[in-house]
Chain A
Amino acid sequence: MTLLDNTRAESAKSLGSKAFLWCLAAGLLVPWLFSAVLFGLSEFPQELETSQWGYRFGMPFVGVAGVLMMTSELQSGSVAYSVLADPSRWRLMVSKAAVAAASAVPVGLAAGTVSWVIAVLLQGGDGPDLSLAGAEQYRIVLAATVLYPIAALIGIAVGTFLERSAPAMVLLLLWPILIENLIAGLPVIGEAVEVVLPFMAADQFVFDDDPEALSPGWALLYFAVFAGVLLAAAVFRFRHRDL
């Protein structure tokens, strides 16, 4: 048994699942839609950053794709068949993580770049320069390519812990969009804990809009380490779980 055999099996399993593919599709379409609406309907010319606003609402769907890879099996008990095929549970989890992350990379790439193309086409020659003039502009447009796979890994971890699709999906959809903003908005403590909120860090990587927060590079590293720790804990949990 090799990691490759398992990864092939996991990719066959995931790519054959309509729910998984729909989540990835939402991860693409939501940012495109945001870009189209913001640039198509706005009366004022928009900045380059605005073309990527929609990533915030697309990325949770990629996380949900990761969630479903675990919960669809844990909830029904069919995970036992996966473990029978390969009793090495860490290898099984690593294969799932690899498939989730690898599926999310092209989705993130297409989400970011096509959102930008939509912005350029709809804005025309007016207003701020939307061209990819330097490293900063490339970072903004390609950020989703890096962030989406990390979100998929977080989804795998959350799915492993919660085991049920519904609560895991609700948590993953609400946490980045609603809960982190609520926490950050709390008086006194909000500002203090803001720096450790993972999806705020992801935002900082894309937009670099808070001079007091981490630099984009460190923010990305923090988001990745957060996902890594969560995933490691999930692997530990899965290895010690009776099926």
Chain B
Amino acid sequence: MINIADLTKHYGDHTAVDDLSFTAAEGKVTGFLGPNGAGKSTTLRILLGLQKADRGTATLDGRPYREIPRPLHTVGSMIDAESLPAQQTPAHFLGWLARSNRIDPGRGRQVLDQVGLAGAAGKRIGAFSLGMRQRLGLAAALLGDPRIVVLDEPVNGLDPEGIIWIRNLLRGLADEGRTVLLSSHLLDELSQIADELVVIGHGRLITQTVPELLLSDVLGHHVLARTSDNAALAARLADRGVGSSPDGAYLKIDTPDCDAVGDTAFSHGLVVLELFERTGSLEEAFLALTGGEDAERDA
């Protein structure tokens, strides 16, 4: 269980994380979603004891990271894959990590095998592609067989096959009862992996929900209609208290009820050319949640 409560972090005048609270439960994959610069990495770095919060707490199974003895046995984490030690080999890197936490030295080979890097154990990390580094970061996270896994942008740089692979891996970890928290700015990938989504923008929590509800919560269900006179239909609907707005050749109507819209059009002698229900895409939901703030900031 990961618990973030009232977390705030400033860098000078800039507020990177603003009174943020959310939880990630055992047995679930929790996606931590937000555009670049939303405060995801800062939040995760505070959670992992790499940075200090100005206010609030971040705990893993009830304890701050700094108070967990031999933490790699409890928490496996993957931070910026670019900061892996370029001069070292995976075998050397995982070797000293294991040593520092008294993990069986044989585990290094096992996790490299698990992430598909067994053949590259002796090569310099500096020569790795981003995808290989991501896999190595994941190997480091799994080294201590931890109950909690925290991954910062693990999907970046992975090919489609890699994305399917990581999805299955994380699902397996969650099904074993572990807590899995991963951040991403890519909604599509995350919604396919995560059981629950925590969406943030400008360091603030926007919503914590399940991927399916993100769509209906944020965008709602609409009916789109194309008729002989969209403006007349809009006026008739307004009489009944139903809002609508023009959307190209269509009228976008704020109701999920196609039948009622059809009845209204028919009773006023309007010819209905098209009529269908639509929910938005995940990207639209994401933009609706975070885009307004970006526009504000950019203005």
* Partner-B contacts on A (CB < 8 A): 1, 5-6, 8-10, 12-13, 16-19, 72-73, 76-78, 80-88, 240, 242-243
Contacts and interface: CB of A to CB of B under 8 A. Distances in A.
A77 B137 CA distance: 14
A13 B72 CA distance: 18
A81 B65 contact: no
Contact of A85 (B51, B72, B86): B72
Given A5-B100, A242-B51, A17 B71 contact: no
Listed from nearest, the 8 A-B pairs whose CB atoms lie closest are: A77-B83, A9-B100, A78-B85, A85-B100, A242-B51, A243-B50, A87-B66, A12-B96
B101 interface: yes
B80 interface: yes
5 contacts: A5-B70, A9-B99, A13-B96, A81-B79, A242-B51
Given A1-B101, A5-B100, A8-B99, A81 B140 contact: yes
Contacts of A88: 66
Contact of B71 (A16, A73, A84): A84
Contacts, number: 88
B102 interface: yes
A81 B125 CA distance: 14
Interface stretch (B18-26, B87-95, B185-193, B199-207): B87-95
Nearest to B97: A85
B83 A9 contact: no
A99 to B, nearest CB: 11
Contacts of A83: 49-50
A86 B83 contact: no
B48 A84 contact: yes
A19 B70 CA distance: 29
A80 B65 contact: no
B103 to A, nearest CB: 10
B230 to A, nearest CB: 55
A80 B49 CA distance: 10
Contacts of B97: 9, 81, 85
Contacts of B55: none
A78 B86 CA distance: 9
Interface centre among A73, A84, A88 (most CB of B within 10 A): A84
Contacts of B49: 83-84, 87
Nearest to A85: B100
A87 B65 contact: yes
A84 B96 CA distance: 12
A36 B67 CA distance: 54
Given A17-B87, A72-B87, A76-B83, A5 B65 contact: no
Interface string B43-87: 001001111100000000000011011111000010110111111
Given A1-B101, A72-B87, A77 B82 contact: yes
Contacts of B51: 242-243
Nearest to B11: A242
Given A84-B71, A85-B71, A73 B100 contact: no
A12 B99 contact: yes
Interface centre among A18, A80, A85, A240 (most CB of B within 10 A): A85
Contacts of A78: 83-86
Given A242-B50, A242-B51, A243-B50, A85 B101 contact: yes
A73 B95 CA distance: 16
Nearest to A239: B52
B102 A5 contact: yes
Contacts of A80: 45, 50, 79-80, 83
A78 to B, nearest CB: 4
Contact of A84 (B69, B77, B93): B77
Nearest to A77: B83
Interface centre among B49, B83, B88, B100 (most CB of A within 10 A): B100
Contacts of A242: 45, 50-52
Given A12-B95, A13-B96, A72-B87, A84 B102 contact: no
A13 B102 CA distance: 15
A1 B70 contact: yes
B96 to A, nearest CB: 4
Contacts of A243: 45, 50-51
Interface string B83-123: 11111100011011101111000000000000000000000
A83 B65 CA distance: 11
A84 B50 contact: yes
A1 B49 CA distance: 16
A31 to B, nearest CB: 27
A72 B82 CA distance: 14
Contacts of A5: 70, 99-102
